[in-house]
Structure 1
């Protein structure tokens, strides 16, 4: 029987992340959105929280404090409450570190994991999404051909976080188009490998501070030692489920931020001699949003709990992804609606959360825990 009552350690990390988000993320979120920038000093501040070394065993240079998808969900909800764009950017090294922890060979762990235990932010990322209307994570068009001593990558990716500065990119590619998740491999590629082209930074409606890039691969040759998992490969669906749980936790954080702000505004904004929160139409939007935030969180925690138990959480993760994406749009739209005309201007952050909230419906693979 699942019990989602947080223990003392979980309450402590939740409180720590909330205070960090309030102090370090919220105050700069608006300026970062306006200027399309991800501050380098913020990356270092988040790095000092130990997201990477905390989950890496001591023999690879980490602190070996254990890894839990549920704990990760608790933490990233708070960071996304501060600002989702900044959180995704600062946590991008996990996109490579977690898959190596999950499926890397001993040799790969010895080679790569120590890099994520240093004092300075180590830039690494992953490339999953592809720019087409019919994109489906289990049906990748980027291909990898297995030859005797090398692998050859061909294809194009989009929305790759920090691709311009990442030392390595973990590229997801299929050995055969249309063969499903079982045919998907993860390949560690150096950014400066011949045939790898980083395009111009993408311009999106939301997540503006987050540097996202298109990356193309043209006959990119990579040694077989860079095949994650060696001859065994990976279990792609587990990595996708871990990613969805993490991204949905961030959606909860964004939704909660919008709902809390709208409630505060509705209590303080007076019209016709009373706060607008007393108006039934407004109260319904605020109440429905609060209910949905709680429901979203419960779905995320259940998915993470199943992942921590090494169960097949594919169905849970899929349902959670669809539900959280839909309700985040609803809640952030309500946030703008409650503020009326003020919700449309940049003096208030609800329009920022609305723009970011729209992205959760399309994003895959931008976070993992």
Structure 2
């Protein structure tokens, strides 16, 4: 689709200059169509964008072109962990320095396309600091579990990943010996998922609104009933306000400002909004909202998973 290529400079095989704002616009538009497909299409960006943000020049020249110069390939990041207190800046997966490189041990969750991945970018804590490492899929000690059975976003195959003393060479560390600052990567992941949540919310609103205008009860469209009208108005306000939060965070990152707070606020606001708006869309449709003839029940299930996938997209 050219989405990833448009965010990568020509010197690394792309055809554009990196723009986080452009990325969130694309993420919202795709998620408005289908959240699972949007996550699938953008899965390789979770591998490429950290390299673009924090890799050495040699790593950028070696690792980025193979991902974007051909058709879509499953190069993916292993970032999320199955912990109730999981935070992108505090990993339970541990990296230890060895004589020949690094050793990785831990468990990752919801890794997309792990069963067919060309390469993994695994995030782990090294001396208490989140770092990233290139890990080949055939590395000894790397195990892909059974496919996750999800409530929603079922079109995206995700898997648990276990690392048991997985050895990687020194040059597998993103950023070389000095590593990299993960702040921009974390912010990018957060406001990209926020943009996707906004896209999902917009889809639900765009479906519920015309339905409410056409559906009549006691000779009057339900959109003219005060309770429904207020609900739809609140849904529209929440979509627009959360969109601005995501745009602001992306703009700040593009302008080399600290986007950590803005990105976190965007993610929290948009993920909560996605759950509430999709739920209210089901309410607007009444009994029709609960049957699969209409897509709002799917969007409600997908919306519940937004916060779970906070590490599965970035632009």
TM-score (norm 2): 0.97
Q: Where do residues 320-359 of structure 1 align in structure 2 (5 Å cutoff)? A: 320-359=266-305
How far the C-alpha of 1:324 sits from its partner, in A, is: 1.0
Corresponding position of 2:91 = 140
Determine the C-alpha separation between the residues in 1 that align with 2:203 and 2:247. 18
Partner of residue 47 from structure 2, selected from 86, 96, 115: 96
- Please state whether the residue corresponding to 2:81 is helix, strand or coil: coil
Whether the 8 Å contact between 1:128 and 1:364 is mirrored in structure 2 is no
CA contact (8 A) 1:103 1:234 kept: yes
> Moved runs in structure 1, 4+ residues, more than 4 A?
none
- Name the residue aligned to 2:8: 56
2:17 to 46, 54, 66: 66
Q: How does 1:204-223 map to 2 (within 5 A)?
A: 204-223=150-169
Matched, 1:226 2:172: yes
Aligned counterparts of 1:167 and 1:74: Cα–Cα separation in 2 = 28
How many residues align? The count is 315
Deviation of the 1:129 alpha carbon: 1.1
Listed one character per residue, the Cα deviations across residues 284-325 of structure 1 (whole Å, up to 9, x for unaligned) are: 111100010000101110111101111111111111111111
Give the distance between the partners of 2:235 and 2:68, measured in 1 at CA. 40
* TM-score normalised to structure 1 length: 0.83
| 1:12-161 correspondence runs (5 A) | 49-63=1-15, 65-161=16-112
* 1:82-114 CA-partner distances (Å, limit 9, x unpaired): 001111011111111111111111211121111
3-state SS in 2 of match to 1:289: helix
- Cα drift, residue 331 of structure 1: 0.7
Q: In structure 2, the residue corresponding to 1:133 is in which secondary structure?
A: coil
Find the aligned partners of 1:350 and 1:261 in 2 and give their Cα distance: 8
Alpha-carbon distance between aligned partners in 2 of 1:319 and 1:95, rounded to the nearest angstrom = 21
2-structure distance, mates of 1:61, 1:136: 32
Equivalent residue in structure 2 for 1:250, among 189, 196, 209: 196
Q: Which residue of 2 aligns with 1:172?
A: 123
SS in 1 for 2:71: coil
CA–CA distance in 2 between the matches of 1:165 and 1:336? Answer: 36
Q: Deviations over 1:199-247 (max 9, x none)?
A: 0000111111001100000110001111000022121121010111111
Q: Which residue pairs with 2:243 in the alignment?
A: 297
Does the CA contact (< 8 Å) of 1:306 and 1:313 recur in 2? yes
- Give a deviation string over 1:127-157, Cα, whole Å, max 9, x none: 1111122222222110000123221000000
Residue of structure 2 equivalent to 1:5? none
Q: Which runs of 5+ in 2 are unaligned?
A: none
Specify every segment of 5 or more residues in structure 1 that has no aligned partner in the other structure, as ranges: 1-48
Q: In 1, Cα distance between the equivalents of 2:277 and 2:7?
A: 33
1:11-52 Cα offsets, whole Å, 9 max, x none, are xxxxxxxxxxxxxxxxxxxxxxxxxxxxxxxxxxxxxx2123
State the alpha-carbon separation in 2 of the partners of residues 172 and 215 from structure 1: 12
CA–CA separation in structure 1 for the residues paired with 2:314 and 2:48: 9
Alignment of 1:189-200 (within 5 A): 189-200=135-146
Secondary structure of 1:263's counterpart equals helix
